[in-house]
Homo-oligomer: A and B are copies of this chain.
Amino acid sequence: MDVAQFKEFADASLDFIADYCENIRQLPVLPNVEPGYLSREFPQTAPQKGESWKHIMEDINTSIVPGLTQWHSPYFHAFFPTGQSYPAIIGELFMAGIGAVASNWESSPAVVELEVRVMDWLAKILGLPEEFLNSSDGPGGGVIQTAASESTLVGLLVGKHRKLQEVKSSNPNLQDCGILGKLVAYTSKESNSSVEKSGIIASVKMKLLPTDADGSLRGSVLEEAIRKDKEDGLIPCCVVASLGTTGTCAFDNIEELGKICQRENMWLHIDAAYAGTALSCPEYRYLLNGIEYVDSFNFNAHKWFLVNGDCSALWFRNTKQVEDAFKLKNIVDLPQFLPELEHWQIPDHRRFRALKLWFVIRIYGVQGIQKHVRHHISLAKHFRSLVESDLRFEVITSNLGVICFKLRQSEAVTQRILENIAKRRKIYIMPYYYKKQLLFRFVICSRFITVEDVECSWREISSQTSEVLKTLEEA
């Protein structure tokens, strides 16, 4: 493919993407394909000779788009928002076009330095304390990771390493193998499943603790778990707390947990994957209460912050402890530039992901991001009022852009309504089991969503409820 063909193909692709985004409202949010549909349509082996890009374009239209769940449709209310915006798309285009990777500074100065600077911008936008900045005098700093699951794993591994060193220094006769099997970490039952998985990967027993009535992990519960585990000879090393649980967007009590972590010298990692973006607005900064106890803080700019994945932002209070855990001892380097981001992560290279973050922040401006967040939250409040005005339903939780509500009727009826909605494929909404209740979980996701869209989605839920109830009455 020469440069002329590249430009032809790229122009056609841009037209496609612009049309796709602007007309996403018209596409069914859930695809109408059967499992295995693509295997039946696409050849089993690669072409020997190169093909024209026009054939690919045809296949995108005829085989790929019909098989997509439309994550950016205003009628997509499942999972969480997924970052995508025009500036971020172009940021990724530049990342691909420049095609730079970086390990140390010399291997790509601009890649490393832009990430260092933009992560500071981001920390300031969220209102994180000065200690977490790359530019602070202390050992704090921030770096882009691939996913919240990776950020959690990094936090847990550093916490594990720090505890291992502490126990060994006070018990010089103990071997690693005598300690490793005894390490235990804590999170809530409501935290993301990736937290439990990080325990498996790090070989640290991850205990899932119960939450209070609001879905929040409280200090007293952690306190009791630590007491029992220490009695059993276990060694608590880390707490992974959620600012915004996956199900209901509940907030763990960082202040209560933090005091205990400080006393026990346990690592405190915060997973604010979705909700972290709300901190862009000062009125939500109260969520940071207790941040003075936090060792590592993560949110996904690729969720609500309008940046395409993979762009999970992770800050540390003390990056020396991270380097102590990860930096290979035999690496003899003369650092030309600090911080050395390459030692704060699992892979040894980074792509130029800072570009898309930089583009989004500059094109939207802080005020543009705030407007986006407040718009979503106001739509969530509007949706909540629609649910509350319908006496067949009860709102159970409502936090930021996530509303969970239940039907006062039996759960079997809820199940049936959800099935009907899924079959009609007009909106994508998911069930959620919370405190032994089956709920409708509704999230404001798309950057294109309007108040009319929210009302349209509500009409779908409401009318399908009427349909099912009517059928049941007639039966």
The chain A residues found within 8 Å of chain B, CB to CB, are 1-3, 5-7, 9-11, 13-14, 16-18, 20-22, 30-31, 33, 35-39, 42, 44-51, 53, 55-56, 60, 63-69, 71-72, 78-79, 82-90, 92-101, 103, 105-111, 113-114, 116-117, 120-122, 124-125, 135, 146-147, 149-150, 153, 157, 175-178, 180-182, 193-194, 196-197, 200-203, 308-310, 325-326, 328, 331, 336-337, 346-349, 351, 358-359, 361-368
Report B-chain residues with C-beta under 8 Å of the C-beta of A55.
362
Known A97-B17, A149-B346, A193-B348: A363·B331 in contact at CB below 8 Å: no
Complex: A37 Cα to B111 Cα, angstroms: 12
Is there contact, CB below 8 Å, between A153 and B346? yes
CB < 8 Å: which of B2, B96, B98 contacts A93?
B96
Which B-chain residue is minimally distant from A204 (CB atoms)?
B203
Q: Tell me the smallest distance from the CB of A55 to a CB of chain B, in Å.
A: 7
Is there contact, CB below 8 Å, between B97 and A21? yes
Is there contact, CB below 8 Å, between A109 and B33? yes
Copies in the complex: 2
Is there contact, CB below 8 Å, between A99 and B120? no
Which B-chain residue is minimally distant from A302 (CB atoms)?
B101
Q: Tell me the smallest distance from the CB of A53 to a CB of chain B, in Å.
A: 6
Report B-chain residues with C-beta under 8 Å of the C-beta of A38.
109-110, 113-114, 116-117
Q: Tell me the smallest distance from the CB of A372 to a CB of chain B, in Å.
A: 11
CB < 8 Å: which of B1, B200, B365 contacts A325?
B200
Complex: A88 Cα to B98 Cα, angstroms: 12
CB < 8 Å: which of B16, B31, B100 contacts A110?
B31
